[in-house]
Amino acid sequence: MENFWNQYGAEILLKFWEHFYISFSAILLGTLVAIPLGAVLTRVKKGSEVIIRIVGFFQTIPSLALLSIMLPIFGIGKAPAIAALFLYSLLPILRNTYVGIQSVDGTYLDAAKGMGMSKWQRLLQIEFPLAASVIISGIKVSTVYVISWTTLAAYIGAGGLGDFIFNGLTLYRLDLIMMGTIPITLLALAADALLRYFESKLTVDRG
């Protein structure tokens, strides 16, 4: 085990960091775009379902195909991978934000309106806090998916733990495949557990 770590330890850490960086960047961008967009759609109403369907269309495109489409735009490297994964991350966050805000009890909104709050004040101070657990649930789903899909980033030279898996498949080496698979699984489980914790805390706070 010591010899194995001496040989591959530094490379595993590097690939893990690349995988984390690509995944986190895509999720962060998806969150920053999808949550405000979902909130706006609850206000404009008209055409909201069409926009959600358009965003959902990106998830119907095969992962390798979408990554390949990004190559002419962003070139080889991490940028096309982040762009493709960003598009994949949008739907669960957008849909949960929209549904979460829409499902807020009207009693709270009527009380806030009676206090003279504007619709945007109600959104920020009432609807977002009450819908937070639902929104985080969407972020959780996107995060686990994106961490898994980031494996394919190695296909376009973006790096990450997928390099080990692709090399292992090419060389018929199970140890290389496991060097990529195990850290990816652990990262996805850790992210899921962390977001579940925040989700449960928000649910308790609301209760």
What is the C-alpha separation between 144 and 137, in angstroms, rounded?
Answer: 11
The C-alpha atoms of residue 154 and residue 196 are separated, in whole angstroms, by 29
Burial class (CB in 10 A: 0-12, 13-18, 19+), 76: exposed
74: left (phi over 0), alpha (psi -120 to 50) or beta: alpha
Distance CA 109, CA 94 (A): 21
Report pLDDT for 206. Answer: 55
Give CA–CA dist 82/18, Å, rounded: 11
pLDDT of 205 reads 55
Domain map (residue ranges) of the chain: 8-206
End-to-end Cα, the chain, rounded Å: 48
Residue in 191, 186, 195 with CA at minimum distance from that of residue 137: 195
Give, as one character, the DSSP assignment of residue 165. Answer: H
Q: Could you say which DSSP state residue 173 is in? A: -
Tokens of 13: 């850490």
d(CA 62, CA 70): 13
What confidence score (pLDDT) does residue 141 get?
93
| Average pLDDT along the chain, 207 residues, taken 10 residues at a time | 68 91 96 94 82 88 85 86 93 93 80 77 82 91 93 87 90 87 93 87 60
Q: What is the pTM of this model?
A: 0.87
Range 8-206 has CATH code 1.10.3720.10: yes
Give the torsion sign (CA, 107, 110, 115, 117): positive
Orientation angle between helical segments 2-44 and 162-171, nearest 10 degrees = 120
